[in-house]
Amino acid sequence: MYELHFGVPMAGAVLCTLNTRHDPATISTLLRHSEAKIIFVDYQFAEIANVALDLLSKTATKKPLLVPILDSQVASTTTQAVDVVDLEYESLLAIGQPKFEIIRPNNEWDPITLNYTSGTTSSPKGVVYNHRGAYLNTLAAVLQCIGTMPVYLWTSPMFHCNGWCFTWGLAAQGGTNICLRKVSPQGIFDSISVHKVTHMGGAPTVLNMIVNAPVNQRRPLPHKVEALTGGSAPPPHVLLMSTFIMEELGFNVSHFYGLTETSGPATVCIWKPEWDSLPLEERAKIKSRQGLNHLGMEEVDIRDPVTMESVAPDGKTMGEVMFRGNTVMSGYYKDPKATLEAFNGGWFRTGDLGVKHPDGYIEVKDRSKDIIISGGENVSTIEVESVLFSHPAVLEAAVVGRPVDHWGETPCAFVKLKDGSNASAEEIIHFCRERLPHFMAPRTVAFEDLPKNATGKIEKFVLRQKAKAMGSLSSNKI
């Protein structure tokens, strides 16, 4: 995939990277929507690809050319059971023309990549990146967080926002790429030790994985490692514990924020030296903010979604996070209606709700679709999750709304406990009620593994469905 980030645009084509966790039906839908001409398939996903292409052939007149990527170190043919009707990847490269003249875009607004934000079969949303936006976002990434000759460990997938545009940035800086087939604490520590990793990037769940790694899987770091985290807004307690433990382990954590539509990271919580002397808890609160727009993004603001006026920079007044600039997407592929809605008012509307602090740093409070309205009061799921994470037995937590008579919704917590730890639903609820206003504390607690997508983000839409299936609570039970 790393090679294809260069080869495909240089051939004058558009690269569309697909989530490796998608099922065949979704892959088939995205191939149809993107009208892909070629599909490169790693041997590990051969079966999924073959089924997807069979499904596609039932509705499409022509299937994309299949180029399988085999592994010479894997002896078993069963694990590489690709229908090799077309040319295998290395053989394809072998017949390439060394003097091939690079096909450059007609202008810098031509598309370079297509990234899907959703795998739903009804309305896939394909985000179109242009050459100019990808170029500027790449420059911003390397200027603000990656020096020369980095050794980068990929714990955030390259198919997600083209690896935050680090794919191109690492090459520009003479970097080395360290790749894992499966992200695990031991794999991370081993890679750092063996390859002298200097940088890594991943969702907050990756940090959580590291800080909760068993002692026997940890290894001393050869030097300070820069850990770049971003994605869904992490509860402050997650960054508090991650910052504290990861600093002890030898990591330095930097916090970014962005969406697929902003080419990945669009803001960074730029650290000020005077904050170094603050207590750890205060440092974690500041680090959990989304910060300021990076050098490639023209502007970020918190605005009233109706009046489009900027909210007061008081750290309290809520508004919608909005962006504008060259690193924002060109639009949604084949979806002019959704594109117009996203840019209504001349800004890209993220759907995230946040505040702006007096120093200009923004802080995301919740997704607009995740906010719980209970009895007319807004409940930030991030604030509730932060309290849940502070319980010593809790490893992971997510909060969604559950229907309740009269009040509309009430917080419902899905919790995964740490290995060897025990806690009852009553204990968790009591713990939260001691630390939150009564209406914000969960009324329901379910213990289970939390569903995640391939970037490590918790799939709250799945949890909302589960909470809805539980039925409506009666008011007298509150």
Q: Is the pLDDT of residue 274 over 90?
A: yes
Q: What residues contact residue 301 under an 8 Å CB cut-off, 6+ apart? A: 310, 321, 322, 347, 356
In this predicted model, what pLDDT tens digit does every residue of 316-361 receive, in sequence order?
A: 999 999 999 999 999 999 999 999 999 999 999 999 999 999 999 9
Question: How many whole angstroms separate alpha carbon 183 and alpha carbon 217?
Answer: 13
pLDDT, residue 79, reads 46
pLDDT, residue 77, reads 46
pLDDT, average across residues 191-198: 96
pLDDT, residue 218, reads 92
* Domain 133-367: top CATH class: alpha beta
In this predicted model, what pLDDT tens digit does every residue of 18-28 receive, in sequence order?
A: 988 888 988 99
Q: Is the pLDDT of residue 121 over 50?
A: no
pLDDT, residue 370, reads 81
pLDDT, residue 368, reads 75
Q: Which residue has the higher pLDDT, 36 or 239?
A: 36
| Residue 458: band (very low, low, confident or very high) from pLDDT cuts 50, 70, 90 | confident
Q: Is the pLDDT of residue 245 over 90?
A: no
Q: Is the pLDDT of residue 194 over 90?
A: yes
CA torsion sign, 393 to 458 to 425 to 280? Answer: positive
8 A C-beta contact, residue 443 and residue 400:
no
In this predicted model, what pLDDT tens digit does every residue of 98-116 receive, in sequence order?
A: 899 999 999 999 999 999 9
3-state SS, the chain, equals: CCCHHHHHHHCCCCEEECCCCCCHHHHHHHHHHHCCCEEEEEHHHHHHHHHHHHHHHCCCCCCCEEEEECCCCCCCCHHHCCCCCCCCHHHHHHCCCCCCCCCCCCCCCCEEEEEECCCCCCCCCEEEEEHHHHHHHHHHHHHHHCCCCCEEEECCCCCCHHHHCHHHHHHHCCCEEEECCCCCHHHHHHHHHHHCCCEEEECHHHHHHHHCCCHHHCCCCCCCEEEEECCCCCCHHHHHHHHHHHHHHCEEEEEEEEEHHHCEEEEECCCCHHHHHCCHHHHHHHHCCCEEECCCCCEEEEECCCCCCECCCCCCCCEEEEEECCCCCCEECCCHHHHHHHCCCCCEEEEEEEEECCCCCEEEEEECCCCEEECCEEECHHHHHHHHHCCCCEEEEEEEEEEECCCEEEEEEEEEECCCCCCCHHHHHHHHHCCCCHHHCCCEEEECCCCECCCCCECHHHHHHHHHHCCCECHHHC
pLDDT, average across residues 154-183: 94
pLDDT, residue 190, reads 96
Please calculate the CA angle 181-455-447 and round it to the nearest 5 degrees: 105
The two most distant CA atoms of the chain are separated, in Å, by 77
Question: How many whole angstroms separate alpha carbon 207 and alpha carbon 388?
Answer: 17
Question: How many whole angstroms separate alpha carbon 128 and alpha carbon 13?
Answer: 13
Sheet strands side by side (includes 15-17)? 15-17, 111-116, 126-130, 331-332
Least confident among 132-146, 315-329, 364-378? 364-378
| Residue 404: band (very low, low, confident or very high) from pLDDT cuts 50, 70, 90 | confident
Q: Is the pLDDT of residue 153 over 60?
A: yes
Global confidence as pTM:
0.83
8 A C-beta contact, residue 354 and residue 365:
yes
Are the folds of 133-367 and 372-477 the same? no
Q: Is the pLDDT of residue 81 over 60?
A: no
Share of the chain above pLDDT 90, in %: 65
pLDDT, average across residues 36-58: 95
Average pLDDT, the chain: 89
Question: How many whole angstroms separate alpha carbon 10 and alpha carbon 230?
Answer: 29
CA torsion sign, 305 to 311 to 317 to 318? Answer: positive
Question: How many whole angstroms separate alpha carbon 376 and alpha carbon 175?
Answer: 52
Least confident among 171-175, 199-203, 431-435, 436-440? 436-440
Q: Is the pLDDT of residue 406 over 70?
A: no
| Residue 302: band (very low, low, confident or very high) from pLDDT cuts 50, 70, 90 | very high
Question: Which residue type does 213 have?
Answer: A
pLDDT, average across residues 137-151: 92
pLDDT, residue 365, reads 85
Side-chain-side CA neighbours of residue 367 (13 Å):
16
pLDDT, residue 76, reads 45
Fold of the CATH domain 372-477: GMP Synthetase; Chain A, domain 3 (3.30.300)
Question: How many whole angstroms separate alpha carbon 182 and alpha carbon 207?
Answer: 15
| Residue 87: band (very low, low, confident or very high) from pLDDT cuts 50, 70, 90 | confident
Q: Is the pLDDT of residue 67 over 90?
A: yes
| Residue 386: band (very low, low, confident or very high) from pLDDT cuts 50, 70, 90 | confident
> Counting every residue, how long is the chain?
478
pLDDT, residue 478, reads 46
pLDDT, residue 460, reads 86
Q: Which two tokens stand for residue 205?
A: 């769940």
Per-domain boundaries in the chain: 4-104, 133-367, 372-477
pLDDT, residue 122, reads 45
pLDDT, average across residues 198-219: 88
Across 432-445, b (16+ Cβ under 10 Å) vs e yields beeebeebbbbbbb
